[in-house]
Structure 1
């Protein structure tokens, strides 16, 4: 999983290959690689690469989400 730093400072972890996007890669003090997104186009592509179906399936396991749904 690759860690991305979006243009607004938000950090996200996505399983997409960073070499596919316009990013600047640096290492943190702990040696972890972070990929700073350089363009709006790259940021959109990274966010589109997230498997939303998987996230929704994971949210079904969380009681916080289930209790907030009003039928």
Structure 2
């Protein structure tokens, strides 16, 4: 789901991505994780249920989503 983000959110970017050309930023909300593109902070924000975010990151870490 994509919708304008409530403001202000406490956005965080992985320390390993500092100085990179871009990555995703996360902001915790009650029951949700807000996700946005760090290169486009005024662009759309995606909201995922915490368990959906956990499943997504588990799949990515296993390589299930590699192209």
Structure-2-length-normalised TM-score: 0.26
Pair member with larger Rg = 1
More helix per residue: 1 or 2? 1
Structure-1-length-normalised TM-score: 0.25
